[in-house]
Amino acid sequence: MEWVIGGTTVKLISAGTFLDDASMFFPREAVATGYRPPDQLTLALNCLLIQSGSKRILVDTGFGDKPGDVDDVQFSTDSRRLVEELRALGGPQSIDVVINTHLHADHCGGNTKLMDGTVQPTYPRAEYWAQRAEWREGLRLTDWRRALYRSENVEPVERAGHMRWLNGSTQVTAEVRCVIAPGHTSRHQYVEVSDGQRSLLFLGDVAPTWHHMEQPWLPSNVDLDPNVSAHTRRDLCGKAIAESSLVILTHEACPGCILTSECTEQEFRFVPVAKHIITA
């Protein structure tokens, strides 16, 4: 899928699909809402390739292909990897900026690769943009979430002088910006592409599934602060409705739009769009 917003072109690309336990995203108290998930969910690994002005921007890099990146990941049999996707689109050397929505391994594992016995940046020309406070927070965690922050996905980039640490919401180009959206992590950021009239929101892990957009209060075990996540989701649903934004979640295969709901069981409706054209 590809969209044009003002002078910016946005292409949805994939780092694969994988299976994970539904209980991670729908703990027992969530089942009371009436949704009965299967034991395992098939999750997308959406990424964006953006051409905006003179910058070619990649948003998120998936799990990666280094030894250890995917030892415990069950990929779908027809899954394609990000490097394969990019090979026909100019390759890693064509990327000017890599934006990580956050630094969990399924979003930044592809930042680096093993080459000649050492771990090096996958995108040799790119500057990598991520939130410094989130990395510091991740390294201080003492529960199972600490394993999501892997030094080999970040430190080789920093040693090579390619890391640009951000401190809050940041403009990338005239039509692209990173915006802080806390809850999943305290400094999680999403990417907004807007020309002032039309907009696309790549929300990363603001919500793990579309069910969490329709019912923002749904808890999820993968969120650092579920209460803050609920407020963030509710605010972003309001924004998406007001601006008629196209919304993309990392782990939902299909983009969608957000509508208000007349159903008492949910606040919003997430309407998948097989092809949503945004043109100037």
Question: How many residues are given for the chain?
Answer: 280
> Who wins on pLDDT, 217 or 71?
217
Note the pLDDT of residue 192.
98
185-235 pLDDT, tens per residue?
999 999 999 999 999 999 999 999 999 999 999 989 999 999 999 999 999
Residue 69, pLDDT score: 85
Report d(CA 67, CA 136) in Å as an integer. 24
- Domain-by-domain residue ranges, the chain? 2-272
pLDDT > 70 fraction of the chain, expressed in percent and rounded: 93
CB 4 within 8 A of CB 14: no
What's the pLDDT tens digit per position in 235-275? Answer: 999 999 999 999 999 999 999 999 998 876 789 999 998 65
Return the half-sphere exposure (C-beta side, CA atoms, 13 A cut-off) of residue 252.
25
In whole angstroms, give the CA distance from residue 244 to residue 212. 19
Q: Of 26, 28, 51, 52, which Cα lies nearest the Cα of 40?
A: 26
- Rounded mean pLDDT, 144-154: 95
Binned at pLDDT 50, 70 and 90, residue 70 comes out as: confident
pLDDT at residue 54 greater than cutoff 90: yes
User: Does 52 have pLDDT greater than 90?
Assistant: yes
Q: What is the pLDDT of residue 276?
A: 45
Domain 2-272: state its class.
Answer: alpha beta
| pLDDT confidence of residue 188 | 98
Lowest-confidence pick of 29-38, 146-155, 216-225: 29-38
pLDDT for 279 equals 44
